[in-house]
Amino acid sequence: MDAVRTHLGGTNFMFCAIAQYATLIGLSTGYAITTALSLGAIERTTCYHKKGRNWPDCSPSTRNYIFYFGVLQIILSQIPNIRKLSFISVVASLMSFTYSIIGVALATATIARGLKVRISLTGVPIGTHNSAMDKMWNTFSAIGNIAISFAFSIVLIEIQDTLKASPRENKVMKEATCVGIIVSSAFYALCGILGYVAFGNDAPGNLLTDNHAFYEPYWLLGLANACIAVHLVGAYQVFSQPVFEFVESWCMRKWGGTSRFMRAEYNIVGRLEVSLFRIVWRTTYVMTTMLVALIFPFFNAFVGLLGAISFWPLTIYFPIKMYILQAHIQKWSLSWISLHTLSFVCFIVSFLAAAGSIRNLIKSVLHYKPFA
């Protein structure tokens, strides 16, 4: 946001702030949904292994897991700032690498078994259970699911901001970033392509948590889903801390001068200090995101909406505008026209993805009773 404010000015800064914080809040909510699905998948696959796949009571509710996740996040949220959470990056990298490899390996093993599945270049065919309108909206929502893989752009500029002026440090970080993006892209592509080849038109929305994907080896599925849960417990904090800091800084400027409620710090354990304001505000934030997760526990539609919201403004529009300004690209030159054409096309993509995801969310909510 600071880069946008410096280069593009106030109006663009406000637009960027809204888009970025909406994305951070949405991702936090999405992590709660995914963690609950992963923990539920561990319980379900263990139940299937012990009692058989037709056992009627092997369908755990995600509501309890969302509640447990929320309680844990309320506790972790009392850590004052993100600098005390630096170890999370290492743990998250190990966890994501582990469950990605397991997902690719299980899909490859399924393909190797030679099961007959229906595959076509155009995806799920139009038929009794999939009208032309359904296919269109699902395609738009799927575009949003793809767009969420570009979420790295949100943190890339933050990484660049922490670098020193040393050319060597910048070069090393640039190379490391490129390698990381290439590896991540490879895993995204492998999971999507191999998942479709393995299951065809019946491919699930999530290979590791869906009820119609893998069942065995149950311990390996359990390990993969445990890695997802551990990863997202930390990721929730990483994406929530900027929201905490923004609101707390604003409130301190507005009311913190004489308010003991805002300023008083209390030592709890060791050097960990908490304030009544942080307890109330951060607990309210976590409870709100958990409530949204309870009402909209629909993985693919929710992820698609997040991807649609964040893709165009944060990945395309602002970077292109800042690049045009910094590179002094002449108006109506070939480069200027090409970049604006790219931005416009990506805006249409984001708009269609958002429409498809919102439609699927509404359709799912109409048939769902969150507190039944």
Q: Per mean pLDDT, which range of 16-30, 46-60, 304-318 is the poorest?
A: 46-60
**Using one digit for the tens of pLDDT, what is the confidence trace for 315-337?**
888 888 888 888 888 888 898 99
Contact 84, 59 (CB under 8 A): no
Q: How far apart are CA 289 and CA 282, in angstroms?
A: 11
pLDDT digits (tens, 9 = 90+) for 169-227: 667 777 777 887 788 888 888 888 888 888 887 777 777 777 666 777 888 888 988 99
Does residue 166 have a pLDDT over 70?
no
Residue 73 φ/ψ region, left for φ over 0, alpha for ψ in the -120 to 50 degree band, beta for the rest:
alpha
pTM of the model: 0.82
Quote the CA–CA distance of 62 and 290 in Å, as a whole number: 11
pLDDT at 337: 92
Average pLDDT over the chain reads: 80
- Position 372 scores a pLDDT of 56
DSSP code for 127 = B
Q: Is the pLDDT of residue 311 over 60?
A: yes
Read off the pLDDT of residues 67-116 as tens digits, 9 standing for 90 and up. Answer: 999 999 998 888 776 665 667 777 887 888 888 888 888 888 888 887 77
At 287 the pLDDT is 94
Q: Residue 213's pLDDT is what?
A: 67
Kindly give the residue spans of alpha helices, DSSP state H, lying in the chain. Answer: 2-8, 10-51, 62-76, 87-112, 132-147, 152-162, 167-199, 218-255, 260-263, 276-295, 299-310, 318-326, 334-365
Count CA atoms closer than 13 A to 117's CA, side-chain side: 21
Q: Domain residues of the chain, as ranges?
A: 2-365
Highest mean pLDDT among 92-96, 233-237, 297-301: 233-237
Which residue, 204, 227, 229, is CA-closest to 215? 204
Within 13 A of 296's CA, how many CA atoms are on the CB side? 22
The predicted model gives 24-35 an average pLDDT of 88
Q: Is the confidence at residue 241, as pLDDT, over 90?
A: no
Instruction: Decide: 301 and 364 in contact? Cβ < 8 Å.
Output: yes
Q: Is the dihedral of CA 66, 68, 74, 75 positive or negative?
A: negative
pLDDT of amino acid 1: 62
In the chain, the percentage of residues whose pLDDT exceeds 90 is 8
Residue 268, classed as helix, strand or coil, is strand
Of all residues in the chain, the percent with pLDDT exceeding 70 is 85
- Evaluate the omega torsion of the peptide bond into residue 242 and state whether it is cis, within 30 degrees of 0: no
